[in-house]
Structure 1
Amino acid sequence: MKNLVFVENGIAVTDSLTVAQVFNKEHKHVIRDIEIQLEKLTEAGEKEWGVSNFGLTQYQHPQNKQWYPKYNLTEDAFAIVAMSYVTPEAMKMKVKFLDEFKRLREQLRAVQTPKTQLEILQVSIQQLVEQERRLTAVENRVEQTEKKQDQITEILSLNPTGWRKKVNGLINKIAQSVGGYGAYQDIRNESYQRLEERARCDLSTRLTNKQRKMALEGVAKSKIDKVSRMDVIAEDARLTEIYLAIVKEMAIEYQVDTSNMALKG
């Protein structure tokens, strides 16, 4: 077996082939595990971190000479992927991997140790700059996470008072996030479709029935023509409650920025 950990571009890494061999897994299953974690990182807003720690590359199969994908993994990336491997034997292998990472990391540090005071000063400055960069990045991520959480809380707290105006505002925001004004009608139709599926109703039929009733009551045609599916929803407290919940869900799914929106009151 080749070394568990090796140096790639001056960094201690392992790869998906080694992980598959050591943990007695098919390589395609390890690739699947890695890509699942990359998807989760993207969903968490950590796509850049995933790209930095999971390096997609290729290897040539020794038998058919074909090229196939593999991943190089930093120590942190390995820890994330191996987190779900929990058998006693797997735990032993994880300890071996981490020991190897530590050994090689210390070996690299020893090789890179500066020999002069100037080099020491330069390295110290670089480390401080890098530390500041990482701290700023963490603070930015925390700030963004807190902002998203605040917005989710604000959306969830949206109450039925003045619900039509608030719903219209959220749908406008969703449309802007996915393509601008041209996407408005698609988002609106999606919200109606979700309502019909969840409430098991037909808004078009209800709208037609309402317009016929208004006609029989002698309401002017110009007024009848202005009646919309929103008016139908507003007539039914159950539909209003469900529709409000659906638009909230959509706003959270599409990660709507509720800044400058009056959702309260």
Structure 2
Amino acid sequence: MNVNELKTFNHKVFGVLPLIQVGDKPYFGATAAAKMLGYSNTSDAISRHTKKDGVAFHEVIDSLGRKQKAKFISEGNLYRLITNSKLPNSEQFETWVFDEVLPSIRKHGAYMTTQTIDNIINDPEFGIQLLTTLKKEREEKEKALRTIEIQRPKVVYADAVEVSEDTVLVKDLATVLRQKGVNIGEVRLFKWLRENGYLCKQKGEMWNMPTQRSLELGVIVVKHGLRTGSNGEMKKTRTPKITGKGQVYFINKILEEQGLLAM
């Protein structure tokens, strides 16, 4: 593949991924990759999750036959899009790109264009530098893949909880936190919620009720109920409960505060 020559790779699930080579490095079609990874706003995703020094532009022909400048991103930036993607089969996309697409354009561990071969023959120092660069890229890839594997269970857990309509008691949230290594119980968690402005501190009817801040964040709600008193009369009850969004919010916040959140 010549420098800046556009090449396309097809997948029955994800579609067509354009790829160019800049120097000795592959660059992937930014918009196409973002769409494949499930981002609804591709421009925003590319802006938020990629670095500018890993971006290149290439002239392509659009559906109307016009020449347009398209954005392409480096391997590192593609890792970042994969890491932040919430697409259920993002792992399948990752496998396709890094186990099929890239190996199909690599030979002997390098992007061996005619120009590259000539450079190695005429300048052995160039070959040493190329191998050093490839080693560094491989190490970065392995590190990125490890990060993806570490984060994926946490992301899956967060997604599963956040979309749940169920609410849980404060004691249930404390149980989850203990399972994640935080030394906390129901009483201490109630205290933490009060001290950090999520539950009301004043004694009386408002004791342990969600603050306006909690209500606006959507992390705590009040569940109303009835119970039978000692005299047989029915009494109204109000119980603070943690929403699905709140479970993710508080778990991440407390784990980060305790230094237990994997970055």
- Alignment TM-score > 0.5, same fold: no
TM-score (norm 1): 0.39
Specify which structure has the bigger relative contact order, considering alpha-carbon pairs within 8 angstroms and separated by 6 or more residues.
1
Q: Greater strand share, 1 or 2?
A: 2
State TM-score, norm by structure 2.
0.40
Structure with the greater alpha carbon radius of gyration: 1
